Structure 1
Amino acid sequence: MELWKLLLAWMGLVLMLRTGEAQLNPNFYQVSCPSVESIVRQAVLKKLKQTIVTVPATLRLFFHDCFVEGCDASVIIASPRGDAEKDAPDNLSLAGDGFDTVIKAKQAVEAQCPGVVSCADILAIAARDVVVLSGGPTFAVELGRRDGVTSRADRVTGNLPGPEFSVDLLSSMFRKNNLSTRDMIALSGAHTVGFSHCSRFADRLYSFNSTSPVDPSMNPAYAKALMRVCPRNVDPTIAINMDLNTPITFDNVYYKNLLNGEGLFTSDQVLFTDQRSRPVVKEFAADQNSFFKAFASSMIRLGRLGVKTGSQGEIRRDCTAFN
């Protein structure tokens, strides 16, 4: 290569690193911590043996982290003032087992590779691992994220999808994060292993509108089953599985349920009732491999949101606190 071209290439690399726009790479820790994925997998497996809640809790934690400030583990920061990201109303329902999974995995990684691997990367690996360990697709996790140095509760509002969202609102929010409507439908499939507190969907059972207390898009038998578990004024700590058929298996049954009017949230069922998203729901319901392929691709794209690389951010010693 001519000298001037070599110099330009080198200058471009330096600029890319300084601005934090270096590309993520599945082999980022090949030299500095080659066993990181194995270490995280063992920590996730150990936690999974303690509670199956590890699966949906870790996966949801990843989504909530990436949609606010980008995939930088800012959602894990604990503030003594109660004003960190995790303290926002939309994040109070995040299960502690998701946080514990990442914290334990970080401790295991630190014992082997101190000060090398970010909490953000550990969360991304753990999210992939819980999918695989519950029967879902595997995929190469892109690595090289650094941990964010900002975590504020007031930045959460309006940046996470709500259970009452329409397809338009869902698509708009995902589009803002460089994710397509197909990505949104595929990532919604994570609800196949999810759970929810009754308060998040009670309005669909008891106060949908002035003419119908029960959402008419809901299968009547399904609605009655939910009412038995979630009567009026039920204990707010009661939670139920979003997929009553195969709740601990990552599969395409979530989409089959939508065809039967058994989507727990409005934001689930609208994926089938809206004619624009219905074809993709039917595709995923009929072909699990198609869903798995789409989900894996969408998870990789999700993991690129707002990442800090190069000289941006930091590598936290403790996932719950800034250095």
Structure 2
Amino acid sequence: MKQPCALKCSITIMFFFLIIQPLVNGQLDYKFYDATCPNLTKIVKFGLWSAMTNDTRIAASLLRLHFHDCISNGCEGSVFLDATDSFQSEKDANANRNSLRGFELIESIKENVEKACPGTVSCTDILTLAVREAVVLSGGPYFSLPMGRRDGLTANITLANTDIPSPFEPLDDIITKFTTKGLNLKDVVVLSGAHTIGFAQCFTFKPRLFNFNGSGGPDPQLDASLASSLQTQCPNQDSSNTNLVPLDNVTTKKFDNVYYKNLVNNSGILGSDQALMTDNRTSGMVLNYSKFPFLFAKDFGASMVKLTTVGVLTGQNGQIRNKCNLVN
């Protein structure tokens, strides 16, 4: 029996939309630079390797730089832009001022990429790849990344001030900041695991050390021996506010699951981190990641790929900046 044209046409149209859906959803592609910049990954990897031999903190700094860019205004490189007559720089936002690092490294890698592939690769994609390589070189998991992001034309200090999570915020507020960007509760727990490397300034957790909530002593949720050690490293005076303390003092330079083991042992330094272990919605995931490092590695890669697609510009939107800190 011959099918009615309407039925065949409907099937054809449905099949067509299923095929083109990935392009409609963003135009990112795992082979985006295969023809136009085939040595891109090698250039980025070499730049990271060189930097990490001289600066053990740079891997964590790049993770933070990337997260602050993506969570506030989307992954479009606005965090790199210097102030102009038209907009303020996101570098001057409360969470970024005098603390974000890695700008010079990405600019240096960008210069090398421009020599090999002029006007081809965005600063946003370079940062995205650099973060992946930083994780891998620190002992963390490899994850494939779709490419094709373009750089934004402006910055938004207001969003940077409101959307970047603070270590002083309750977990509910932090969860909301993730979910409004299309991320979920699992992503909150998994991406927080990036704190397995890196350092925190004393002021970000000092309220937990002295007269916590008017108690006259440290936060009772903080391991007593750790609290004592932190009080020595971060004395109760303003001059110690910018002292640096490793977020994971067990395997400080290694990207692993010890961060979660620390939370289980009440040794999370940031109150916002330790809250993941005291909340029924997230404590089970913390326990699982503390026991199964391969599970954390797999889920971290998946959540990072999700993060790198937040608010991206593709196609004819945005531009490929010549220099990361300036719009062309």
* Alignment equivalent of 2:169, drawn from 157, 165, 168: 165
Match of 1:154?
A: 158
Q: CA deviation at 1:243?
A: 0.4
User: How many angstroms apart in 1 are the aligned matches of 2:183 and 2:169?
Assistant: 16
User: How many angstroms apart in 2 are the aligned matches of 1:63 and 1:223?
Assistant: 28
Match of 2:5?
A: none
User: How many angstroms apart in 2 are the aligned matches of 1:294 and 1:126?
Assistant: 19
Equivalent position SS for 1:89: coil
Structure 1 unaligned segments of length 5 or more: list them: none
Match of 1:180?
A: 184
Equivalent position SS for 1:196: strand
* Alignment equivalent of 1:253, drawn from 251, 258, 265: 258
| Map 1:155-304 → 2, pairs under 5 A | 155-233=159-237, 234-304=239-309
Percent identity over paired residues: 38
* Alignment equivalent of 1:138, drawn from 136, 139, 142: 142
Match of 1:87?
A: 92
Give me the TM-score of the superposition, normalised by structure 2. 0.91
Contact 1:61 1:94 in 2 (8 A): no
Contact 1:204 1:214 in 2 (8 A): yes
Match of 1:26?
A: 30
Q: CA deviation at 1:93?
A: 4.4
Aligned AA (1:237): T
Aligned AA (1:291): F
Q: CA deviation at 1:79?
A: 2.0
CA RMSD between the two structures: 2.3
User: How many angstroms apart in 1 are the aligned matches of 2:134 and 2:177?
Assistant: 25
Structure 2 unaligned segments of length 5 or more: list them: 1-8
Q: CA deviation at 1:80?
A: 5.9
Match of 1:311?
A: 316
Pair member with larger Rg: 2
Equivalent position SS for 2:73: coil
Equivalent position SS for 1:67: helix
Match of 2:74?
A: 70
User: How many angstroms apart in 2 are the aligned matches of 1:281 and 1:268?
Assistant: 10
Contact 1:26 1:140 in 2 (8 A): yes
User: How many angstroms apart in 2 are the aligned matches of 1:133 and 1:158?
Assistant: 32
Aligned AA (2:139): G
Alignment partner of 1:110 is 2:124: no
Contact 1:60 1:94 in 2 (8 A): no
User: How many angstroms apart in 1 are the aligned matches of 2:49 and 2:193?
Assistant: 22
Q: 283-292 vs 77-86, which deviates more?
A: 77-86
Contact 2:73 2:156 in 1 (8 A): no
Contact 1:21 1:309 in 2 (8 A): no
Structure 1, residues 172-215: CA drift from partner, whole Å, max 9, x if none?
A: 11111111111110000000102111011111111321234311
Equivalent position SS for 1:22: coil
Aligned AA (1:236): N
* Total equivalences in the alignment: 316
Q: 167-176 vs 140-149, which deviates more?
A: 167-176
Equivalent position SS for 2:72: coil
Q: CA deviation at 1:16?
A: 9.5
Structure 1: 4+ residue segments shifted above 4 A: none
Match of 1:48?
A: 52
Equivalent position SS for 2:108: helix
User: How many angstroms apart in 1 are the aligned matches of 2:284 and 2:170?
Assistant: 16
